[in-house]
Amino acid sequence: MEARITQLEEFAAETNLRLAKIEARLELMATKADLEALRVEMHKGFAEIIKWMVGTAIVLGGTGLTIITFVIDNAIPK
């Protein structure tokens, strides 16, 4: 019986160490609120990127159209 109690005490000490390690890891884990904040931030970032891409495409299209018009007007002798 004494050997069994000693074994259980050793197991309890081991379990306490493992539990302490798990609790330390849990402090580093993201919570639902953290993930929600990240989702909102990413959504804003994606919207910003899309806005810049559309704006850049419009400017490049206008610039290309201007260059093509200039070349066509000046390439044909009058």
Which pLDDT tens digit goes with each residue over 18-34?
Answer: 999 999 998 888 889 99
User: What is the predicted pLDDT for the residue at 2?
Assistant: 85
pLDDT of residue 66: 97
Q: What is the pLDDT of residue 28?
A: 86
- pLDDT per residue of the chain (78 residues) written in tens, 0 to 9: 888 889 988 899 999 999 999 999 988 888 899 999 999 999 999 999 999 999 999 999 999 999 999 999 888 777
Mention every residue, 6+ apart, whose C-beta is less than 8 A from residue 30: 38
Helix (H, G, I), strand (E, B) or coil at 1: coil
Amino acid at 67: I
